Amino acid sequence: MKHTIIFSAPYMMASTERFRKLLEGYYGIEMIVPNIKQKLLEDEIIAYAGQFDGTICGDDEYSARVIEACVPRLKVISKWGTGIDAIDKETATRLGVFVGNTLNAFTIPVSETAMGYILSFARKLPFMDDDMHAGIWNKPPITTLSECTLGIIGVGNIGQAMVRRARAFGCRILVNDIAPIKPDFLIENRIESVPLKDLLEQSDFVTCHTDLNPSSRHLINRETLSYMKPTAVLINTSRGPVIDEKALVEALQSGKIAGAALDVFEKEPLPMDSPLLSMKNVMIAPHNSNYSPMACERVHWNTIRNLLIPLGYDVSNFEEIKKKY
């Protein structure tokens, strides 16, 4: 049987023809390549219902409504990356649709991005650069990380990588996670596990590294923001809805916190009327903290592999085949 897939993962679409040669040329899989900017919405996917057996996707909205409309033909949703919060996995499992992703995909680039934001605010590098280019000779008060407390929310792979990196700068480190943290990890790294309120009250920098689930959605909200120091900076390279964006804007405008660095947002792309775009105490990026050539290449091929297996293709020689492409 010849299969057809929707190919809509943005990071892979820059090399569409490379992957078309593999999927169509070697495996005989036909590709539907929609014109997208960020992701496919529910109705955009449903327009293809009954026409495709699988998908290689980014943050496309595979809700229960979409999956129900696309079965029984739909057999596999292969997500580029780690987070599958845009996919209703419970519905997919119930209807026999395999959901694949790549665990521990971007630990190094995301943790380095978060550390870059922390250093930028501690040493005020981009802000002094802006002043200098504007002809302003200004020497603002700056600090070192060895004088600061860093709070890390979420101690999975990326959170642990943050601990290792932050230790090198000599800062005090507080961590919080809804899952138990191994005592040996705390002892070996000389860090403290504390309740979220304590972490927010004591930290000069707070960085979020939790996945998106019902317990983490709007984890940072009007109440939790009120616990933070007025000199503190909030960093989010995890998922946009972990932070209540409206509450964050209010906290920044009122001076309840000093600044924020955001790679992710509740709505992406970030709307052009967002107040965040005009705030000088906010650093923003287009959901790109995960990028590195090595990490992306690994995820590209694992995503393809996750597509092929549920569709019944033999991948025993996959490592040799991919070398040709």
Q: Which residues are catalytic?
A: 239, 268, 287
161 class by beta-carbon count within 10 Å (0-12 exposed, 13-18 middle, 19+ buried): buried
Contacts of residue 286, defined as CB under 8 A and 6 or more positions apart, other chains included, come to 263, 268, 269, 270
Per-position DSSP letters for 189-254, written without gaps between them: HT-EE--HHHHHHH-SEEEE-PPPSTTTTT-B-HHHHHTS-TT-EEEE-S-GGGB-HHHHHHHHHH
Cis check: omega of the bond before 180, within 30 degrees of 0 = no
193 class by beta-carbon count within 10 Å (0-12 exposed, 13-18 middle, 19+ buried): middle
**How far apart are the C-alpha atoms of 76 and 116, rounded to whole Å?**
37
As a whole number of angstroms, the longest Cα–Cα distance in the chain is: 69
**How far apart are the C-alpha atoms of 318 and 139, rounded to whole Å?**
57
Contacts of residue 178, defined as CB under 8 A and 6 or more positions apart, other chains included, come to 215
Chain position carrying tokens 């595979």: 62
Q: Which two tokens mark 204?
A: 């000069």
Strands (E) across the chain are located at 4-7, 30-32, 54-57, 76-79, 98-100, 149-153, 172-176, 192-193, 205-208, 233-236, 259-262, 282-284
**The Cα angle at residue 186 between residues 207 and 215, in degrees rounded to 5:** 45
